[in-house]
C-alpha cells in the first residue's frame, strides 16, 4: 500500500525495474566495451545507480559527486556541486547518473564540473525527465521516463530528506509542502 502522503503512484517497482534494465543495456552498448566510470549525483541518484550498475556488464567503477539545488522546498535554488572525493577523471569515459532533470540547470552545472575534472567523454542517464519544464538546452543521452510537472518522491527522491526509501515513484500530496 502506498504511503498516506502519496497522492498517486506514478511508476511502480515492476515498471522501474524493467526500464532500468533497458537503460543499463543501452548505456553499456554506447560505451562499446570500454571501461566506464559511473558517477552518481548524490543524494537522489543513489538507488537508481545501485539498481543500474547491477544490470550493467563489463568493466566499471563507481564514484559519486554531490549536487544540491533544492533545499527543503519544492522549487530550485542556487546550485552547488561538491567534487570532494571524486577520483581523477582525466582520460575517463564517464556515465553520469542523475535522478531527475527538470529545468536542466543542475545538469548543465554538473556536466561543466565533470568536464573541468578532465573526463574524456561524458554520457548522461536520467531516470525521470520533466521535459515540459526545460529552460536550458542539455543533452540527456538515456531517459527512463518522461514525467509530468508534479513534485515526485521515492526511489531516491526526497522532500526535506523524507521518502527516499519508497520503492516506487509517487506524486507527493500538496498538503505536505503547501504553506511550508
Q: Which residue among 37, 97, 111, 153 contacts ligand 5GP (CB under 6 A)?
A: 153
Rounded Cα distance, 31 and 175, in Å: 44
Q: Based on CB atoms, which residue is closest to ligand 5GP, 58 or 77? A: 77
Q: Which residue among 81, 106, 129, 155 contacts ligand 5GP (CB under 6 A)?
A: 106
Give 104's DSSP letter. Answer: S
Which residues inside 24-83 make contact with ligand 5GP, applying CB under 6 A?
44, 69-70, 76
> Under 8 Å CB-to-CB from 26, ≥6 apart: which residues?
142
Cis ω before 76 (30° cut-off from 0):
no
Residue 141 annotated among the catalytic residues of the structure: no
**Contact (Cβ atoms closer than 8 angstroms) between residue 126 and residue 143:** yes
Q: Residue 101: which of Mg ion, ligand 5GP, none does it interact with, CB under 5 to 8 A by kind? A: ligand 5GP
Rounded Cα distance, 85 and 66, in Å: 10
Q: Which residue among 51, 93, 129, 158 contacts ligand 5GP (CB under 6 A)?
A: 158
List active site positions: 102
Note the residues at the interface with ligand 5GP (CB under 6 A): 44, 69-70, 76, 98-107, 151-153, 157-159
Amino acid at each position: 500500500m502506498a504511503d498516506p502522503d502519496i497522492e498517486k503512484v506514478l511508476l511502480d517497482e515492476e515498471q522501474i525495474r524493467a526500464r532500468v534494465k533497458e537503460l543499463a543495456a543501452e548505456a553499456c552498448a554506447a560505451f562499446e566495451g570500454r571501461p566506464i566510470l559511473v558517477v552518481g549525483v548524490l543524494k537522489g541518484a543513489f538507488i537508481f545507480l545501485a539498481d543500474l550498475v547491477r544490470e550493467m556488464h563489463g568493466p566499471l567503477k563507481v564514484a559519486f559527486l554531490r549536487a544540491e539545488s533544492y533545499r527543503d522546498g519544492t522549487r530550485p535554488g542556487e546550485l552547488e556541486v561538491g567534487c570532494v572525493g571524486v577520483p581523477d577523471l582525466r582520460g575517463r569515459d564517464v556515465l553520469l547518473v542523475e535522478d531527475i532533470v527538470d529545468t536542466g540547470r543542475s545538469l548543465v552545472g554538473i556536466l561543466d564540473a565533470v568536464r573541468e575534472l578532465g573526463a574524456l567523454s561524458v554520457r548522461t542517464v536520467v531516470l525521470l525527465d520533466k521535459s515540459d519544464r526545460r529552460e536550458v538546452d542539455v543533452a540527456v543521452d538515456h531517459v527512463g521516463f518522461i514525467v509530468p510537472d508534479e513534485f515526485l518522491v521515492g526511489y531516491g527522491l526526497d522532500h526535506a530528506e523524507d521518502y527516499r526509501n519508497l520503492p516506487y515513484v509517487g506524486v507527493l500530496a500538496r498538503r505536505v509542502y503547501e504553506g511550508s
